[in-house]
Amino acid sequence: MLDLKKIDLIDKDVTNNLVKVFKSKIYTNLLIDAKRSLYQHKSLFLVGCASLGRLAMQIEASIRKFWLNLINIIPDRKDEFLANYNYVNSISIGSDLTIINNEIDFKDLYMIGNRQIEAEVNDGDICIVYASDGSSRAINQAAITASKIGASVYYLYNISKEKIASIDTAKSVLSNKNIIKICLDNETTNTSLFKELIYSYSVLEIISNEWLKENLIDDEYKVLIDRGLGALSINDYARCFNVINKGFQKEKTKIALTKLSEFKDSNNAYLTHNYLVDMLAILVDEQDRCNCPSFKKRMDRSTDSPKSIAFDALYPTSIAWQHVFRRNIKGLNESKNTYKLLGVNNPKITSFHSSELFDYLIGNEYDQSRYQYNLVFIDVNEHYDLEELTSFCKEGGNYKEQIVARIGNVSRNKLFSNELIIPVKLPSTCLDLFAHLIIRVLFS
């Protein structure tokens, strides 16, 4: 069952701590630094390992999608939007394959993080490094290497200052005066990732909104604001968490959350385009904890099946993966001997080439093995694609059960006979911060 006390937003300390973070001088400096790099066409890198590496990919995909979609609204600004499209990049220690393959943990292989940073980061760039508890040698080496290159490095960790000071692998980072240390002080596992998500999304939303306000004419900017594509004030971000918190306290919402916990325990196939990256990341983490395979490969004939899966109803796998990353996929693309020299001695690993991702089926091609699951259509704030709903209704009869999970600002018009409605007020912002946050809260 879902323990409501373990939902991050119900913890008042989270909101209070975030208010302190938003008011800090370091946060203000990061906003200034990030905006400077955007105007100078530098890059902002999000660097993480394992689940935080997957979070980095999710945030990168969100901002790329945002700038690309603006072209459809204001075509005359295409060149400017495309320049900003490449602004944010993710570096997941161990390559992009960690979005779907959690077989090996790269956190202690410091040379891999070092090589990935050297290959991508340049002088004048920004690196936001997700250090978690500060114990990863790969992450710490990545922060040090980026600093030596000349990047501005913001090192986010989520334990107390006293605890991280006692960790040997973090001492070289803590003593580096060029690395800006940011304590998110998050001691409980149930709030893992949430603060990093809120911190990063809010920075990117605020500077993106400032760029639009300063570079578009009034009519252009008003069109975007009317569509909910702006940002909140710093104080409003914290205030909205309290509004969501109050929404969770309502009896109707509590009943819906209890039902959600019941079907989450089943084997589900989650149909979603807008939140596919979120669900892939969540399922890899969840299924790794219960020793289930993350996802099945195209030619995998084994009897082991993932507990749950996620797929895109709009596109076949080869195209769906392009929408996940919206850039070239990064593998480690080295030989097996090179991996051994770097310390990767897992006999299952022959390579980490980017092409391997396309072996994992996340698209809309026919796959009879999916019919063993319940089909769950995810909709947040009614931002679904009509083609998604059509696919859900057309193919749903082949599955064990069908359900539509409608979350956020939901109208009274039913999409399907079997609906689970979780009514919570979620403001619309340019990167959909609150929608991504609520997906993470409810399905993790």
Dihedral, 108, 114, 115, 117 alpha carbons, nearest 10: 120
- DSSP SS3 for 270: strand
Identify the segments of the chain with pLDDT beneath 70: 1-15, 103-105, 186-192, 301-303, 336, 339, 343-352
Where would I find the beta strands (DSSP E) of 272-347? 309-311
| pLDDT confidence of residue 127 | 98
Compute the distance between CA of residue 416 and CA of residue 397 in angstroms, rounded to an integer. 13
**Tokens in use for 390?**
């059509």
Compute the distance between CA of residue 190 and CA of residue 444 in angstroms, rounded to an integer. 9
Residue positions counted in the chain: 444
**Domain 4-240 maps to which CATH number in 3.90.930.12, 3.40.50.10490, 3.40.50.2300, 3.40.50.1980?**
3.40.50.10490
Phi, psi of 326 (to 5 degrees): 55, 35
**309 Cα distance to chain centroid:** 17
If one counts every other C-beta atom within 10 angstroms of the C-beta of residue 319, the result is: 12
Sign of the torsion angle spanned by Cα atoms 203, 206, 209, 214: negative
| pLDDT confidence of residue 303 | 67
Q: Is 249 exposed, middle or buried (0-12, 13-18, 19+ CB in 10 A)?
A: exposed
| pLDDT confidence of residue 344 | 67
Sign of the torsion angle spanned by Cα atoms 314, 319, 320, 325: negative
| pLDDT confidence of residue 21 | 80
Compute the distance between CA of residue 410 and CA of residue 404 in angstroms, rounded to an integer. 12
| pLDDT confidence of residue 4 | 47
- Per domain, the residue ranges of the chain are 4-240, 248-443
Write down the pTM of the prediction: 0.92
| pLDDT confidence of residue 103 | 59
Compute the distance between CA of residue 406 and CA of residue 427 in angstroms, rounded to an integer. 15
